[in-house]
């Protein structure tokens, strides 16, 4: 259609003319049959009908037709642009490949990290109205316990007295500690379990997928052998049986009835998979103490609508302080501390994840800058082609649109490759620690993640597409046509490209600094002396089965015979056992009454109490500072003895030897027979706590983490050790066998993941930055061929030519480094929170970063500089 | 001419216009003359309805328009039927025939 697009008024005028023609013809016909001219016109108009309405109806139709046509044309043009784009891109395969790879890396990294962030931080929690759920901790300011567990009597009082909470629930769960032996229907397994106290599921309100949740009536004695299954165990062990409800399964050698199955992804209160939920009342006061002093419950409350955390906290503080003044066991426990359930689940991963999201955003920015600068380089060689198109009648808008189509096509293709890359990356990440994040098992590349990928792809396309487009929009094509074959970018083009390089280097500096800081922090973390030797030791985790608990001597005999059986194996130097390994549990809490300590009883800190076997310290290689280790003579019936760590001795009897001192427990006085070295029980980044060790033979605990000190590679004896256990009891379930290093290593798996990802992104940023510097200089050398030729012809030395090009590269990089360091310093506050023992503004790291970047910049400048040297002045001057 | 012309059934204007244009390209006035002659003045196509239909048909892509010079040397808008228009004409004729045949099968049995 060659008609130019008309306005509404033009349309109306056209219709008017058309209708007037008709009326004139009709009138003429009437005149021919004898009417006078005036009457004929009136009659013709009368016969026509509603002229006014017809005019507006017709012009409206025309307008609609034009709009539809215009849309079709736009579509046509887009299609033509796309075809043209595919042609141009396939004519420059190297360029296209580099751009696509760069984009795939940038977008892929963003997609992968975003999918993790979405699953962990953004997905709603699996509870209805989760924003009203808060965790309630018992607080004891005098002993500095902020997040204390709650005893059952206290919890029941809280529940009864709170008016602001709609409901309150309690549970007992500790990762790796609350586990139950599951037998029958397959191999015996030690499965993770949560012990559900009063009101938990009423408070959480999450509905089971099948059956019902544990309720108040399930806590009653005689009716409490019921169990809820997690989705994973239901799927894997019971083949997703739809008729599982009502089935009997065997837990700790007792029959339990399955009453419910939780939906996929519901693992509360565990971060990882959770197999079963059973009523807390299954474990009587003999298993778990129910006095006001035994604090073991975690409490979650649902606030009434409109109640603020502060109001609830004030109410609960009132309740707690009343209880504290009523019961001696509650002395000091005068307040509570609150935390939203969301915070309690994702609180400590929020910052590292946000940091990673920021880092990949920087990578994407660098990617965009890089691609923009590549397009700019190409744009200047394409200047002539575009000028020809303009001369042939393509409007400036049309050319701009063509260029944008090209950028967006590149971005979308890059995004598709990026999504693929992210898919592969996630599979790798899944095996290397993302699964260890809360809700990490929910990480997937689904529709919303892919929508995000599409979004950032388009955004990047616009971002890197707009720069070369701006140049075209402002360029004069006549100039380009006249400038001969080489095409040229003016001064402004060079400035733009230099600016892009500076930006790129600056962004890379920020990334590398972050990577350097977290790596250094990780190394410091790994270098921390844990107080024992983690190398060449194997850990076997199990528990003495219930049937051996009576009589008590039998339990001890069983415990000892397991240790002896392993000890007898080849390559074993020492075997010891402990209830809680360092970083995997903190023992039991005991607030000791130390005889002869200058500390007042209410000032004395709580201590960890650990149950160990005789050779535990030898197996761990924890040094003896004074006195003696435990011995076989410290058995049941013999006087109870204790060991303490140095920290305990320092706190309770400063400047004195603790060996020979004693602790009071009720009427009994227990003597301390030795002092051992400090162990960082809570992890390498945590402070050492006062610790007491007691012999398991004198105070039996069924859970055993058996540490086997070996002569060589610990995994070599894993099989014989397992066989040794089964030689004592072939039905003994073993929950895990791993090296001590692996077991401890889990404590640093998050810092390790953070550091390795940041290093990866840093290297990515650096590589892209170097490519950017190289590209700009290589282009500049090509562009300045003639100038360099003239200089050489006029007697410039190779050294001065080399210096000129290198100087240009280093100047740009230096500017980038300055901006980047300033940026890194500005982000120091954010970084500090994830660093261990490293200041966020760390001079050494900054200097290292600068050295790395300037070195890389030198390298990137070197090749173009050499190329400049090779220019033959005669040829350069003759060219063109 | 004492008989009153019949008012048109809904939608038949379209098919009449298409039929006229299938004969030859013509302007709106020409179409109205053409229909009047064929129908011996029995069918009254109101001019307003004719033009509304023409513009509607053009939007639907069944006819195309072009400004030209009329037989008496005046600027007029000429319409021509397109390929899609011919297809539409054929199918509408078939539809109408089926409709009236069915109608009269019923009416004639009485």
Span B21-68, pLDDT tens digits? 999 999 999 999 999 888 877 777 889 999 999 999 999 999 999 999
Q: Quote the CA–CA distance of A868 and A290 in Å, as a whole number.
A: 84
Q: Complex ipTM, two decimals?
A: 0.90
Interface contact flag, B77 A21, Cβ < 8 Å: yes
- Of A53, A16, A44, residue with least CA distance to B52: A53
Confirm or reject contact between A787 and chain B (CB < 8 A): no
Alpha-carbon gap: A395 to the closest alpha carbon of chain B (Å): 27
Burial class (CB in 10 A: 0-12, 13-18, 19+), A317: middle
Q: Among partner residues B52, B58, B75, which is closest to A54 by beta-carbon distance?
A: B52
pLDDT in tens, A377-398: 777 667 667 777 777 766 777 7
Interface residue A70 vs chain B (CB under 8 A)? no
Give domain status of residue B66, yes or no.
yes
At residue A719, does pLDDT exceed 80?
yes
Return the half-sphere exposure (C-beta side, CA atoms, 13 A cut-off) of residue A829.
Answer: 1
Q: Is the pLDDT of residue A479 over 60?
A: no
Is the pLDDT assigned to residue A802 strictly greater than 80?
Answer: yes
Host domain of residue B85: 12-107
Q: Name every chain B residue with its beta carbon within 8 A of the beta carbon of A53.
A: 48
* Contact with chain B for residue A101, Cβ under 8 A: no
The alpha-carbon gap from A5 to the nearest alpha carbon of chain B, in Å, equals 15
The whole-angstrom distance between A3's CA and the closest CA on chain B is: 10
B75 → closest Cβ in A15, A17, A22: A17
- A:B CB pairs within 8 Å: 63
Residue bearing the bigger pLDDT, A187 or A329: A329
- Count how many domains chain B has: 1
Looking at beta carbons, which residues of chain B come within 8 Å of A32? none
**Mean pLDDT highest for which of A118-122, A617-621, A684-688, A756-760?**
A617-621
* pLDDT tens digits along A778-795: 777 777 778 888 888 888
Supply the pLDDT for residue A693.
96
User: Does the pLDDT of residue A597 top 80, yes or no?
Assistant: yes
pLDDT in tens, A94-147: 888 888 998 999 999 999 889 988 888 888 888 888 889 999 999 988 777 788
A69 contacts in B (CB within 8 Å)?
A: none
Residue A57 to chain B, least CA–CA distance (Å)? 7
**What pLDDT, on the 0 to 100 scale, is given for residue A431?**
65
Option in A22, A49, A62 nearest B55 (CB): A62
**Contact yes or no for B52 and A58 at CB 8 A:** yes
Whether the pLDDT of residue B6 is over 70: the answer is: no
Query: If you compute the radius of gyration of chain B from its CA atoms, what whole number of angstroms results?
Result: 15
* Residue A767 in contact with partner chain B when CB distance is under 8 A: no
Q: State the pLDDT at residue A432.
A: 61
| Angle, in degrees to the nearest 10, between helices A51-91 and A396-431 | 60
Q: For an interface test with A, which of B13, B59, B63, B64 has the most A Cβ atoms less than 10 Å from its Cβ?
A: B59
The answer to which of A12-21, A52-61, A665-674 has the lowest mean pLDDT is A665-674
Residues of A in contact with B58 (CB under 8 A): 61-62, 65
Span A234-282, pLDDT tens digits: 998 899 999 999 999 988 888 999 999 999 888 888 877 789 999 999 8
As a whole number of angstroms, the distance between CA A380 and CA A375 comes to: 9
CB < 8 Å to A54, chain B: 48, 51-52
pLDDT band at residue A617 using 50, 70 and 90 as cut-offs: very high
Closest Cα in chain B, distance from residue A32 (Å): 14
Nearest CA in chain A to B55: A58
Is the Cβ of A62 closer than 8 Å to some Cβ of chain B? yes
Task: For chain A, say whether B59 makes contact (Cβ under 8 Å).
Answer: yes
Q: How confident is the model at residue A486 (pLDDT cuts 50, 70, 90)?
A: very low
Neighbours of A586 (CB within 10 A): 18
Is residue B3 domain-resident? Answer: no
Is residue A482 over pLDDT 80? Answer: no
Residue B86: CATH number of its domain: 1.10.10.10
Mean pLDDT of A629-655: 92
Q: Is residue B5 part of a domain?
A: no
Structure tokens at B3: 């008989």
Return the top range by mean pLDDT from A219-233, A363-377, A781-795: A219-233
Q: Tell me the C-alpha distance between A358 and A756, whole Å.
A: 15
Greater model confidence, A457 or A604: A457
pLDDT at A231 (0 to 100): 92
- Per-residue CA distances from A552 to A178, A207, A546, A549, B51 (Å): 22, 42, 11, 6, 106
The whole-number pLDDT of residue A602 equals 60
Residue A454 pLDDT: 92
Would the CB atoms of A54 and B59 count as touching at under 8 Å?
no
Q: What is the pLDDT of residues A835-878, one digit of tens each?
A: 888 888 888 888 988 998 888 888 888 888 888 888 777 777 77
Q: Does A49 touch chain B (CB under 8 A)?
A: yes
Compute the average pLDDT of residues A41-45: 93
Q: Which of B48, B58, B74 sits opposite A48 (nearest CB)?
A: B48
A57/B55 touch (CB, cutoff 8 Å), yes or no:
yes
On whether the CB atoms of residues A51 and A19 are closer than 8 A, the answer is yes
Q: Which residues of A touch B76 (CB under 8 A)?
A: 18, 21
pLDDT tens per residue across span A275-318: 999 999 988 877 777 888 788 899 999 999 999 999 999 999 99
Instruction: Give the position of tokens 């066998």.
Output: A737
Closest Cα in chain A to B53: A58
Give residue A599's pLDDT band: very low, low, confident or very high (50, 70, 90). Answer: confident
Question: Quick one: average pLDDT of A14-37?
Answer: 92
Compare A439 and A623 and report the one with higher pLDDT.
A623
C-alpha A785 chain-centroid distance: 50
In a domain, B6, yes or no: no
Dist. CA B11–CA A182, nearest whole Å: 79
The mean pLDDT value for A717-723 works out to 91
pLDDT beyond 60 at A483: no
Q: Is residue B17 part of a domain?
A: yes
Q: Which residues in chain B have their CB less than 8 angstroms from residue A31's CB? A: none
Which residues of chain A make contact with B56, given a CB cutoff of 8 A?
61
* B85 in A contact zone (CB under 8 Å): no
Helix (H) or strand (E) holding A488: none
Contact A368, A415 (CB under 8 A): no
| pLDDT computed for residue A1 by the predictor | 38
pLDDT at site A756: 86
What's the gap in Å between the CA of A54 and the closest CA on chain B?
A: 6
Residue B63 lies in a domain: yes
User: Is B95 part of any domain?
Assistant: yes
Nearest Cβ partner for A61 among B46, B59, B74: B59
Interface test with chain B among A12, A22, A60, A68, by most B beta carbons within 10 Å: A22
Of the listed ranges A164-173, A345-354, A436-445, the one predicted with least confidence: A436-445
Angstroms from A391 CA to nearest CA on chain B: 31
User: What is the residue-averaged pLDDT of chain A?
Assistant: 86
Q: Measuring CA to CA, how many Å separate A840 from each of A516, A825, A832, A849?
A: 10, 8, 5, 14
Q: Quickly state the pLDDT bin for A477 (edges 50, 70, 90).
A: low
Residue B4 domain flag? no
pLDDT for the residue A170: 94
Q: How far apart are CA A96 and CA A461, in angstroms?
A: 14
Phi first, then psi: what are they for A786, rounded to 5°? Answer: -60, -45
């Amino acid at each position: 259609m060659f008609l130019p697009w008309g306005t509404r008024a033009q349309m109306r005028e056209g219709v008017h003319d058309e209708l007037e023609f008709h009326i004139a013809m009709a009138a003429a016909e009437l005149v021919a049959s004898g009417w006078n001219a005036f009457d004929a016109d009136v009659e013709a108009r009368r016969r026509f009908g509603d002229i006014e309405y017809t005019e507006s109806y017709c012009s409206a139709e025309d307008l609609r037709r034009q709009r539809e046509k215009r849309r079709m044309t736009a579509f046509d043009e887009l299609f033509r642009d796309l075809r043209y784009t595919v042609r141009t891109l396939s004519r420059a395969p190297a360029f296209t490949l580099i751009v696509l790879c760069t984009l795939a890396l940038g977008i892929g990294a963003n997609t992968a990290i975003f999918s993790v962030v979405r699953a962990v931080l953004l997905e709603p929690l699996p509870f209805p109205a989760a924003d009203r759920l808060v965790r309630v901790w018992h607080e004891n300011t005098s002993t500095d316990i902020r997040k204390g567990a709650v005893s059952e009597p206290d919890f029941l009082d809280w529940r009864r007295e709170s008016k602001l909470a709609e409901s309150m629930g309690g549970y007992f769960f500790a990762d790796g500690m609350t586990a139950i032996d599951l037998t029958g229907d397959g191999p015996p397994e030690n499965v993770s379990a949560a012990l559900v106290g009063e009101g938990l599921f009423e408070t959480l309100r999450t509905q089971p997928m099948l059956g019902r949740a544990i309720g108040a009536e399930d806590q009653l004695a005689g009716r409490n052998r019921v169990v809820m299954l997690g989705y994973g165990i239901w799927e894997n062990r019971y083949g997703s049986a739809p008729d599982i409800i009502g089935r009997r399964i065997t837990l700790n050698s007792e029959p339990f009835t399955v009453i419910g199955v939780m939906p996929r992804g519901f693992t509360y209160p565990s971060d990882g998979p959770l197999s079963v939920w059973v009523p807390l009342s299954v474990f009587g006061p003999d298993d778990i103490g129910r006095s006001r002093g035994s604090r073991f419950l975690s409490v979650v409350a649902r606030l009434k609508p409109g109640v603020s955390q502060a109001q609830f906290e004030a109410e609960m503080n009132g309740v707690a302080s009343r209880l504290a003044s009523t019961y001696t066991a509650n002395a000091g426990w005068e307040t509570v501390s609150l935390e939203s359930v969301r915070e309690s689940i994702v609180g400590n991963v929020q910052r590292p994840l946000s940091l990673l999201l920021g880092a990949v955003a920087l990578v994407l920015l660098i990617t965009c800058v890089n691609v923009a600068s590549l397009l700019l380089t190409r744009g200047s060689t394409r200047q002539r082609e575009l000028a020809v198109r303009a001369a042939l009648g393509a409007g400036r808008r049309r050319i701009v649109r063509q260029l944008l189509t090209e950028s967006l096509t590149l971005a979308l293709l890059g995004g598709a490759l990026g999504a693929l890359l992210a898919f592969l990356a996630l599979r790798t990440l899944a095996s290397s620690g993302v699964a260890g994040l809360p809700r990490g098992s929910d990480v997937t590349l689904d529709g919303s993640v892919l929508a995000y990928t599409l979004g950032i792809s388009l955004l990047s396309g616009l971002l890197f597409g707009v720069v070369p487009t701006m140049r075209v929009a402002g360029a004069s094509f006549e100039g380009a046509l006249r400038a001969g074959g080489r095409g040229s970018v003016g001064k402004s083009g060079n400035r733009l490209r230099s600016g892009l390089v500076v930006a790129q280097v600056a962004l890379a500096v920020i990334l590398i600094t972050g990577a350097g800081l977290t790596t250094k922090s990780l190394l410091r973390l790994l270098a921390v002396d844990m107080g024992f030797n983690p190398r060449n030791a194997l850990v076997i985790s199990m528990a003495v089965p219930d049937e051996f608990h009576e009589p008590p001597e039998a339990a001890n005999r069983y415990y000892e015979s397991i240790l002896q059986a392993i000890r007898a194996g080849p390559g074993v130097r020492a075997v010891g056992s402990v209830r809680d390994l360092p970083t995997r549990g903190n023992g039991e809490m005991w607030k000791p009454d130390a005889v002869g300590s200058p500390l007042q009883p209410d000032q004395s800190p709580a201590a960890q109490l650990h149950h160990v076997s005789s050779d535990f310290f030898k197996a761990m290689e924890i040094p003896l500072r004074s006195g003696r280790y435990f011995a076989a003579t410290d058995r049941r019936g013999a006087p109870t003895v204790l060991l303490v760590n140095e920290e305990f001795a320092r706190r309770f009897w400063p400047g004195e030897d603790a060996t020979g001192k004693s602790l009071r427990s009720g009427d009994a006085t227990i003597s301390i027979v030795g002092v051992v070295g400090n162990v960082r029980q809570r992890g390498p980044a945590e402070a050492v706590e006062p610790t007491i060790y007691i012999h398991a033979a004198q105070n039996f605990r069924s859970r055993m983490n058996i540490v086997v000190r070996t002569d060589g590679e610990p995994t070599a004896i894993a099989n014989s050790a397992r066989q040794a256990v089964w030689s004592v009891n072939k039905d003994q379930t073993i929950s895990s066998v791993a090296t001590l290093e692996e077991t401890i290593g889990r404590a640093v798996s998050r810092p390790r993941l953070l550091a390795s990802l940041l290093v990866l992104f840093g290297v990515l940023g650096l590589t892209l930055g170097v490519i950017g510097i190289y590209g700009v200089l290589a282009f500049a050398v090509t562009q300045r061929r003639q100038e360099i030729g003239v200089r050489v012809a006029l007697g410039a030395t190779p050294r001065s030519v080399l210096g000129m090009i290198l100087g240009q590269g280093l100047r740009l990089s230096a500017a980038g480094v300055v901006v980047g360091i300033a940026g890194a310093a500005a982000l120091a506050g954010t970084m500090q929170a994830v660093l261990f023992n490293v200041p966020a503004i760390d001079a050494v790291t900054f200097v290292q970063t600068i050295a790395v970047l300037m070195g890389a910049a030198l390298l990137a400048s070197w090749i173009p500089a050499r190329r400049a040297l090779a220019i033959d002045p005669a040829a350069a001057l003759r060219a063109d | 001419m004492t008989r009153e012309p019949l008012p048109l059934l809904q939608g038949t204007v379209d098919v009449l216009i298409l039929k006229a244009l299938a004969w030859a390209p013509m302007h709106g006035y020409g179409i109205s003359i053409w229909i009047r002659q064929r129908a011996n003045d029995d069918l009254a196509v109101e001019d307003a309805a004719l033009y509304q239909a023409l513009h509607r048909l053009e939007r639907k892509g069944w006819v195309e328009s072009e400004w030209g010079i009329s037989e008496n040397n005046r600027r007029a808008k000429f319409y021509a039927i397109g390929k899609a228009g011919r297809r539409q004409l054929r199918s509408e004729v078939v539809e109408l025939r089926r409709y009236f045949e069915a109608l009269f099968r019923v009416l004639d049995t009485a």
